[in-house]
Amino acid sequence: MDQCNTCLLMMGCPEVPVQMSIVLYLSNKLKKSGRDVTVAGTDAALKLLKVSDIEGHYVEKAMDIDQCIADIVEKKINFDCCFAFMHSDAGLTYAATMSAISPAKLYAVIFGKNAESLSDSVDFPAEKIVAKAVHNPVPLKSKIDRVIV
Amino acid sequence: MSCVEQMKYKLYLERISFKEARDYIEKSSEEVYYVDPGYKIFKDYYIIGVPPVAMGVRGKEMLFTYVKPCHGTFVMGIDSEEEIARLRENENEKMKRSLKKGAMEDKKRLQQLPVSFNEIYGN
């Protein structure tokens, strides 16, 4: 993590409750350690984020996930590391895309009911952070704390 | 919203896994091309996918995967001779690059080969 000055938190579908709390927690943690954090997500996920952090205490920069992919491909932006949140095949597909288009160090944050089987499907270079968490964010928070001290 | 959603498209499969979508394209197309994730089609859609990302051609129609975070993967078809021509051109370029790379590696190998019998056996 030492060389990660710019971080992207790429959210998946916001239907699993733990995602938003972990995104806010992780963003705050990275920000407090002096890193520049951007959060990308769908329209719904960004609205949840904005309402949860109305004054931007935890997240200063947010952008649409497809625009983020487009800007990375067009080399308009890049990041030193990316946390790709996933609890479904679509989330995994976005993470695989990030792995292919960006040299950023990739962390696959895998959660939800099928976290373990989804984790087995990750066959691209990524450090996996896995917890079978749906409503309770504590198991995922603990795993994140072990990776980002 | 991507420009793809505003075009005249056909939806062949919806809310499936990426692998299922790739299998469908491979089985249902007359020609199959593989592109890298991030390959741009039409005005502003960058393909999201797990490599190898299959793109199909069936008549005048291009088949491709469309991924939405909350809805999974879709297989869409859009008539576009322009995009099909670009796919074929992209494949030709890949072939040329691969041949050129092969030729450079051959040349490098030849340069590394000993030049004379004496160099091999002479002491």
Best probe of the B interface among A11, A87, A89, A94, by most B CBs < 10 A, is A89
Is the residue at A22 inside a domain?
yes
**Apex CA B78: angle with CA B76 and CA B82, to 5°?**
135
Q: Domains in chain A: how many in total?
A: 1
Report the C-alpha gap between B122 and B117 in whole angstroms: 7
The whole-number average pLDDT for the span A7-23 is 97
CB atoms within 10 A of CB A62: 20
Q: What percent of chain A has pLDDT over 90?
A: 96
| pLDDT score, position B115 | 64
Check pLDDT > 60 for residue B3.
yes
From chain B, which residues contact A within 8 Å (Cβ)? 2, 17-18, 36-38, 40, 44, 46-51, 67-73
Report the C-alpha gap between B113 and B69 in whole angstroms: 53
Check pLDDT > 60 for residue A47.
yes
Could you report the per-residue pLDDT of B29-64, keeping only the tens digit for each? 999 999 999 999 998 999 999 999 999 999 999 999
**Predicted ipTM of the assembly:** 0.91
Instruction: Write the CATH number for A73.
Output: 3.40.50.10160
A6–chain B Cβ distance below 8 A for any pair: no
B123 vs B13 pLDDT, higher one = B13
For residue A58, what are the domain limits? 6-147
Is the residue at A139 inside a domain?
yes
Which of A121, A124, A127 has its CA nearest to residue A144? A127
| pLDDT score, position B91 | 87
Nearest CA in chain B to A42: B69
Which chain A residues are Cβ-neighbours of B72 within 8 angstroms? 88-90
Least CB–CB distance from B69: residue in A90, A100, A124: A90
Query: If you average pLDDT over every residue of chain B, what do you get?
Result: 89
A86–chain B Cβ distance below 8 A for any pair: no
Element (H, E) at B90: helix B81-112
Q: Of how many residues is chain A composed?
A: 149
Is the residue at A72 inside a domain?
yes
